Chain A
Amino acid sequence: MATISIPSPFRKFTAQEPEFQSKATTVNGLLQDLVATYPDIKKNLFTPEGQLLQFIKVYKGEEDIQEMNGVQTTIGEQDQLTIIPAIAGG
């Protein structure tokens, strides 16, 4: 199963779990599985219309999925993904 790392600030939404695994074959499938398991994380990942938030990035290995095929990027059992949270200040 592919594994996605949850950044520490988002672990409040995942019962403090640092990782999530899914049998999905695309990034979108994995994220949908994640949201189905931990619904509270949804608003920190997606717009109300279901698009990945602009400043949330997902990396597959060391590469931004936007440089590949976006959320339709395919993933395999050995893939390691990372969510990059949006960070801003006043």
Chain B
Amino acid sequence: MGLASIKEFIFPQEVYIAILEHGKRKINQEYLPGEYQEPKAYGLIGGSINGEQVEVVGTYVLTKNQRGSQDQKAQMDKNMKEYAVPSETPMEKRGWIADPEEVWEAISQFSEQSGSLVGNYHTHRIAWEHDPERDTCTKIDRELAKNSGQWVFILSVVNPGRPILRAFYEGQNKKEALITIKK
């Protein structure tokens, strides 16, 4: 069975906390040296697939955003115009694209941890009138994850004191997996 069949992600507590801390750090606008500066966190998740479960082995903090690169900007702008809900963040600042070199490093790291790339995560930080929690995938999330084979994890930090992490296969809100924290 593959990623499409996953029903549960089991996170070691320290990995789960690392994701929450990443989100918190970015909304506080505390940046790593050389990190792309924006109040949005995004990263990759590695895990070991065991039937319908994934044992999460680690995460990789993405520090670069190729969204503004000459090759990608026009297509991303087009996607945003077509699928994104207008928000206080300007369209040209919306969205992120992973740097392939970082993806390569993450895949290598997960392999050393006896896992493989299973998905990615990003934060939603601004409440919308029609979606106050922002803990599910948006239309643009679905479009960008369409046919990707990846799980999309949404970390809602609308209320920073009460972060919410949820997982959706290819960004489809009807295909959600349980997230369990292992102490």
Q: Could you tell me which A residues sit within 8 Å of B by CB distance?
A: 7-13, 16, 18, 43-44, 54-57, 59, 64, 82, 84-90
Contacts and interface: CB of A to CB of B under 8 A. Distances in A.
Contacts of A43: 147
Interface in B123-177: 137-138, 140-141, 143-145, 147-150, 152
Contacts of B118: 8-9
B3 A9 contact: yes
Contacts, number: 95
Contacts of A18: 116
Contacts of A84: 100, 103-104, 107
B144 A90 contact: yes
A45 B49 CA distance: 24
B116 A7 contact: yes
A12 B2 contact: yes
Report whether over half of chain B's contact residues are helix, strand or loop; otherwise say mixed: mixed
Contacts of B1: 16
Contacts of A88: 67, 76, 95-98, 144
B9 interface: no
Nearest to A9: B149
B148 A90 contact: no
A87 B84 CA distance: 17
A58 to B, nearest CB: 10
A16 B140 contact: no
Contacts of B100: 55-57, 64, 84, 86
A55 B101 CA distance: 10
Nearest to A14: B2
B149 A90 contact: no
